[in-house]
Structures are given as structure tokens and as C-alpha cells.
């Protein structure tokens, strides 16, 4: 792998519509919105992809920011349409998503893997395979599997929202490192920061596979 990242498309996962805008499940949208604000992208509707997209230039790299408008469980349809049309291979796609298995305030970067019960990732893997990069934004777990759907579709507490949005900002800081210097320096920066950040008091919520 070259020193510079090959990422050409950054996908934020979420649900369209104002009623979902501030919910935990839309953390991926939060991050790509912040990237567009920082790097001069303006979102516009792309009906052929069933998505909204923005072209941004980050560390000299032209990157497409994309938010599927298909609702979470059909995210793969929009991303596959865009990647096929633009000829972007799966390994050049970074998907940003909420993660129940990480605590609020934590963020992790990795290549490949399963879907972990996340419906957006499940559909992406079904349409693209598992070889895309993931930026995981922790939202915590309600502690009961039966409560997960309601939990992800609600706005987090004020404390948790502050932690999540701080992690979103810190993850956005790492994207230029990833594009300019490569994935390994970006992972080191992000994961070192996470390890140095004190855990939220009482954060020992159980991890329950979805």
C-alpha cells in the first residue's frame, strides 16, 4: 500500500429526514456534514444514486462525500450505484457509521470485517462485499438487545451527544492525515487519542451482539 490513502469516496450512514437528524443512527451523516463544512463541499441531490453528494478536496485529494437517501437498511443500493457509475473500487471507499460496541466518545478505523448486526453495513456487505474501510463512531449500547432499535433511533442524552460529537470532530481531524499520509498514521493518531481519553463514568454497558 502506498503512503497516501487511495480513498476516493467517503460514505456517511444515516436516515434521511429531519425527524432522524439528531438520532444516534445518524452519526455517520454528522461526520460527512462536518467534512463538507471544513473542506468546501456543497451537498446536492443525485437521483441516479438515490443519494446526496458533495465534492471536496482534502489534502489535495478529490473525494466524493455521499449520504444515501434510501434509509439505513438499503444503504448498499445507493453506494453500489455510485461506486459502479464512478468506477470506485470497494477498497477506495470509507464508510462512517454508528457503532453499538464502542462507547460514546470513542472512534476506530479499520479495513474490512463483518456487519456486526448493523443494518446499513449488512446491506453494504451484501452489495459490495466486505472490503471497504470503516470509521466506527461509538454510541454505546442500551444493555438490552430488545431496546436497540428504539435506542439508535432516538437522540442521545446531552452528555452522550457531546461525547459523540467530540469524537466526530476528532475523527474529521484524522481524515486529512489518512488522505495525505496513509491509513496507518491515521489509525495511530485516532486510536492513540482514544486510549488517552478517560472512559465515561459508569460506561461498562454490556456488549450484546445484534
Catalytic residue among 25, 39, 118, 141: 25
- Which helix (H) or strand (E) segment is 44 a member of? strand 44-46
**At 136, phi and psi to the nearest 5?**
-95, 125
- Buried-exposed string 98-123: b where 16+ CB fall within 10 A, e elsewhere: bbbbbbbbbbbbeeeeebeebbbbbb
Residues 58, 173: contact at Cβ < 8 Å? no
Q: How many residues does the chain have?
A: 210
CA atoms within 13 A on the CB side of 67: 24
The span from the CA of 210 to the CA of 204, in Å, is 18
127 is an active site residue: no
Residues 11, 93: contact at Cβ < 8 Å? yes
**Catalytic residue list:** 25
Amino acid at each position: 500500500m502506498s503512503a497516501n490513502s487511495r480513498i476516493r469516496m467517503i460514505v456517511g450512514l444515516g436516515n434521511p429526514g429531519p425527524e432522524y437528524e439528531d438520532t444516534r443512527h445518524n452519526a455517520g451523516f454528522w461526520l460527512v456534514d462536518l467534512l463538507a463544512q471544513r473542506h468546501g463541499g456543497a451537498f446536492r441531490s443525485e437521483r441516479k444514486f438515490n443519494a446526496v453528494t458533495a465534492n471536496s478536496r482534502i489534502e489535495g485529494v478529490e473525494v466524493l462525500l455521499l449520504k444515501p437517501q434510501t434509509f439505513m437498511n438499503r444503504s448498499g443500493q445507493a453506494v453500489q450505484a455510485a461506486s459502479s457509475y464512478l468506477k470506485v473500487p470497494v477498497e477506495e471507499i470509507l464508510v462512517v457509521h454508528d457503532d453499538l460496541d464502542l462507547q460514546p466518545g470513542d472512534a476506530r478505523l479499520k479495513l474490512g470485517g463483518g456487519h456486526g448486526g448493523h443494518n446499513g453495513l449488512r446491506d453494504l456487505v451484501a452489495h459490495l462485499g466486505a472490503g471497504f474501510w470503516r470509521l466506527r463512531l461509538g454510541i454505546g449500547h442500551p444493555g438490552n438487545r430488545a431496546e436497540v432499535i428504539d435506542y439508535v433511533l432516538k437522540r442521545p442524552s446531552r452528555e452522550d451527544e457531546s461525547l459523540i460529537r467530540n469524537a466526530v470532530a476528532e475523527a474529521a481531524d484524522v481524515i486529512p492525515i489518512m488522505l495525505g499520509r496513509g491509513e496507518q498514521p491515521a489509525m495511530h493518531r485516532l486510536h492513540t487519542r482514544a486510549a488517552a481519553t478517560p472512559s465515561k463514568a459508569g460506561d461498562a454497558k454490556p456488549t450484546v451482539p445484534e
